Structure 1
Amino acid sequence: MDRIDFRQHAVHSLEEIREKVGTPHEAVVKKSISMIDEQARSYIAMSPMMFLATSNREGQCDVSPRGDGPGFAYVANEKQLIIPDRPGNRRVDSLQNILSNPHVGLLFLIPGMEEVLRVNGRAAVIKDHPVLEKLALKDKAPALGIVVEVEECFIHCPRALKSSGIWDQGSWPSKEERPSSMDIFHAHLRINGYPLE
C-alpha cells in the first residue's frame, strides 16, 4: 500500500491552526483550574473508568484504560490523586513512561454522561506506602500506585461522546459484528513471527 504524502499540506504554526478554527471563548480558557475542587472530586468519586496518557523521554506516547468500581481513583487532597496499578499483562508501558517523563493526562468518564473530566499533571510511581491500603480491592492493596500532582483540571464539552453515540445501546454493533479481540491478537502475533499452536 502506497503511503500518502501530506508534506505540502502540513500545518507548521499555531497561527495557521487559529486561522482555521478561531480562538476559544474566554470562559473555555478560564474553566481550567489547578486543583481538584469539590465538583471534580464528586465526578471522580462516580467514575469507574479513566484513560491514562503518558509518553517516554523520546515522546513516544501511550494511552492505557484504567478502571474498577466508581471512585477507584483516590483523591487524597485538592492537589493529589492516586491511581491503583492492578495486576495485568505486565507490560507496564505507563509505569515505564512515567519513570522517564512524569507528565500525564487523565480522562475520567461516568457511564451515560457525555462530558468527561480532564486532569493533567506530574506523576510518580509509589510502593509500600500506607495510602495504598485505601486502594485495596477485595482486601488486597495494590503493589504499586500512581500519584498525580494535579496541575490542571477541567470539564470537557460533550461533543465527541454525543456525536459518537457511545452510550446509545441501540447504535452498538451486535456481538457477531464486533471485531474479535482474539483474532486481532493472533494476527499481530503472526506479523511478529510468534509461533501459534
Structure 2
Amino acid sequence: MENLDVQNHLVKSLEEIRELVGSPHEAVVKKSIAMIDEQAKSYIEKSSMMFVASSNERGQCDVSPRGDAPGFVYVANAKQLVIPDRPGNKRVDTLSNILNNPHVGLLFIIPGMEEVLRVNGRAVVIKEHPVLENLKFKDKAPALGIVVDVEECFIHCPRALKHSGIWEHDSWLPKDRRPSSMDIFHAHLKINGYDVK
C-alpha cells in the first residue's frame, strides 16, 4: 500500500487554518482557566475514566487510558492533581515520557455525559509520598503517582461524543461483530516475529 501523496495539499500556517475554520467566539477562549475550581473538582470527583496524553523527548506521542472508581484522581488543591499508577502491563510508557518531557494533557469522562473536561499541565512521578495514601485501592496505596501542576482547565463541548453515539447502547456493534483484542494482539506479535504458542 502506497503512502498518500499530500505534498501539494499541505497547510503551512495558522493563517491558512483560520481562513478555513474561522476564529473562536470570545467565550470559547475565556472558558479556559489555570486552576481546578469547585466546578472542575466536582467533575473530576465523579469521573471514572480519563486519558493521559504524553510525549517523549523526541515528540513521539502516547495516550493512555486510566479508569477506576469515580474520584480515583485526587484533587490535592486548586493547582494540583494526583493520578495513581495502578499495576498494569509494566510498559510504563506514560511514566517514562514524563521523566523526559513533563507536559501532559488529561481528558476526563463521566459515563453518560457528553461534555468532557480537559486539563493540561506539567507532571512529575512520585513515590513514598503521604498523598499516595489518598489513592488506595483495596486498602493498598499505589507505589507510584503522577502529580500534575495544572496550567489549563476547561469543559469541552459535547459534539464528538454526541455524534459518535458512544453512550447509546443501540448504536453499539453486537459482540460477534466487534474486533477481537486477542486476534489483534497475536497478529501484532506475529508481525514482530514473536512466536505465539
| Residue 72 (structure 2) pairs with residue 79 (structure 1) | no
| AA partner of residue 123 (structure 1) | A
**Which residue is equivalent to 1:124?**
124
Cα offset, 1:2, TM superposition = 1.3
Aligned length: 197
CA deviations over 1:76-121 (Å, ceiling 9, x no partner): 0000000000000000000000000000000000000000000000
> Could you tell me how far 1:7 is from its partner in structure 2?
1.0
Aligned to 1:143: 143
SS where residue 120 of structure 1 aligns?
strand
Please name the residue that 2:133 is paired with: 133
**2:28 aligned with 1:28:** yes
Deviations 1:140-191 (A, max 9, x none): 0000000000000000000000000000000000110000000000000000
Deviation at 1:196, TM superposition (A): 1.1
Give the percent of matched residue pairs that are identical in Structure 1 and Structure 2. 77
AA in 1 matched with 2:48: P
Distance 1:65 1:165 in 2: 20
The TM-score with structure 2 as length reference comes to 1.00
CA–CA separation in structure 1 for the residues paired with 2:75 and 2:38: 10
TM-score by length of 1: 1.00
Describe the SS at the equivalent of 2:72.
coil
Residue in structure 2 matched with residue 54 of structure 1 by the alignment = 54
Alignment-derived partner of residue 92 in structure 2: 92
Matching residue of 1:42 = 42
1:182 correspondence with 2:182: yes
